[in-house]
Amino acid sequence: MTDYKITAIEGGICAAAGFKASGIHAGFRKNKQKRDLALILADDMCTAAGVYTTNKVFAAPVGVTRAHLANGKARAVICNSGNANTCNTDGYDKANATCDMLAKALNINADDIIVASTGVIGVPLPIEPIENGIPQLVAELAYGAEASDKAACAIMTTDVKKKEYAYELEIGGKTVHIGGICKGSGMIRPNMATMLCFITTDAAVSSEMLQKALSEVIKDTFNMVSVDGDTSTNDMVTVMASGKAGNAEITSEGADFDAFKAGLEAICRRLSIAIASDGEGATKLIQCNVHGFKDVEGARVLAKSVISSSLVKTAMFGADANWGRILCALGYAGIDIDTDKIDVKFISHAGEILVCENGRGVDFSEELAKTILLRRHITIDVDMKCGGASAIAYGCDLSYEYVRINGDYRS
């Protein structure tokens, strides 16, 4: 595997050449300080790709965007927070009306628009905030970091932190930029942890190769995140490529494609970690590295099983080195494993400690384990000792605050 020089930069979705953004308070949220409508506009037509929730109950904007991206082209993204536009009789009408109004204001085609929503399910989407907000949203479109920041804020729901990153790397002798914003683990009324992500790049990539890169990269990034195991109805990750970096268009596999995929993976991994560590009520980022396994698909399932276990998550909240729960979660993952070979370590900036060897407990210092587990970023390291494949899953602990956020109907 080649190592690529991938550098973190400022600018988010406006780091790539050819993209403007804006984010305003349109009125979905009561708090007038909270931006709730975001727009990303490409100067020219982009190649584009998307991946969507696998939930059979999916939001109207997911259905509309999937149809719009079928031709691998897009010009703009519009996204509201505060209402999911899911399970409503008029959902498709409203999502289409949103695209039509924006298309008219921007003088582009409605089917070149990516539309997304996040918020409460089953409450009809009010169309007035969109209708009244579009003029301001378009008027405030701008290049640069500040514009990206506004869009990133506008898609947040109960996210505590804004999620906005960008990287640059070289492809075919040209400097290429990839940036993204996302929201995750938040909700409104309360509702479910929708994950939305919008990525822009100035790399020149064909629609087919863009979709291929995205579909491959999400397997090891966004699809390895679990906050509470509930797959939202509104999940969506899209990427638009403007081609303005001037590299030779990537139209097939090869060195340039691999480099682009590495950049795309970097941004998706960074955003995935941001989602996990900002999970509802999370006090800690929990990462499970499963390595030494016979195949990568199995390693992914095992790592996700550990990260998704409520008992593992509560133990991490309590800084309890209760490794039996990790063995248990590996055991019920539905994968054929040799339980007598498993080693488990806890790792953090405070050190590392072996707690289980060959599937059996070892004597260890409870005090050191506690010191390690009291940190904010914990790695659960699992060595299956039966091969060379590995996978990493990202999650968070399960705290009182998670229950409060999701249980208190008055909040």
Asked if 231 is an active-site residue, the reply is no
| Length reported for the chain | 411
363 binding its own copies? (CB under 8 A): no
As a whole number of angstroms, the distance between CA 179 and CA 263 comes to: 10
Residue at 145: amino acid letter? A
Task: Pick the stretch among 65-73, 92-100, 147-155, 222-230 that binds its own copies (CB under 8 A).
Answer: 222-230
User: How many other CB atoms are found less than 10 A from the CB of residue 257?
Assistant: 18
Task: Pick the stretch among 12-20, 28-36, 230-238, 380-388 that binds its own copies (CB under 8 A).
Answer: 230-238
246 binding its own copies? (CB under 8 A): no
173 binding its own copies? (CB under 8 A): no
Least spacing, CB of residue 361 vs its own copies, in Å: 4
- DSSP 8-state code for residue 157: S
Locate all alpha helices (DSSP H) within 50-204, ordered by sequence. Answer: 60-68, 91-106, 128-139, 145-154
Q: Cis link prior to 129 (omega < 30° from 0)?
A: no
Of residues 46-75, those binding its own copies (CB under 8 A): 54-58
Least spacing, CB of residue 401 vs its own copies, in Å: 9
Sign of CA dihedral 51, 57, 61, 63: positive
As a whole number of angstroms, the distance between CA 168 and CA 384 comes to: 35
Q: Which is nearer to its own copies, 17 or 333 (CB)?
A: 333
Three-state DSSP class for residue 289: strand
Q: Which is nearer to its own copies, 100 or 230 (CB)?
A: 230
Residue 182's closest CA among 232, 216, 137, 138?
232
Question: Does residue 134 contact residue 204 with C-beta atoms inside 8 Å?
Answer: no
Selecting among 118, 194, 201, 221, the annotated active-site residue is 194
Q: Which is nearer to its own copies, 175 or 322 (CB)?
A: 322
356 binding its own copies? (CB under 8 A): yes
Q: Exposed, middle or buried: residue 348 (CB in 10 Å: 0-12, 13-18, 19+)?
A: middle
Least spacing, CB of residue 278 vs its own copies, in Å: 17
221 binding its own copies? (CB under 8 A): no
Locate all alpha helices (DSSP H) within 177-254, ordered by sequence. Answer: 207-220
As a whole number of angstroms, the distance between CA 274 and CA 148 comes to: 17
121 binding its own copies? (CB under 8 A): yes
86 binding its own copies? (CB under 8 A): yes
Of residues 381-400, those binding its own copies (CB under 8 A): 397-400
Instruction: Tell me the two tokens of residue 184.
Output: 């995750």
Instruction: Tell me the two tokens of residue 265.
Output: 């993976």
Instruction: Tell me the two tokens of residue 392.
Output: 């990493």
Binding mask 279-318 for its own copies (x = CB under 8 A): ------------------------------xxx--xx-xx
192 binding its own copies? (CB under 8 A): yes
Task: Pick the stretch among 20-28, 101-109, 155-163, 327-335 that binds its own copies (CB under 8 A).
Answer: 327-335
Least spacing, CB of residue 279 vs its own copies, in Å: 11
126 binding its own copies? (CB under 8 A): no
161 binding its own copies? (CB under 8 A): no
- DSSP 8-state code for residue 247: P
Q: What counts of helices (H) and strands (E) characterise the chain?
A: 11, 16
Least spacing, CB of residue 337 vs its own copies, in Å: 6
Q: Which is nearer to its own copies, 200 or 226 (CB)?
A: 226
Q: Which residues bind its own copies (CB under 8 A)?
A: 54-58, 84, 86-89, 120-124, 189-193, 228-233, 309-311, 314-315, 317-320, 322-325, 327-332, 335-337, 339, 356, 359-361, 370, 397-400, 402-409
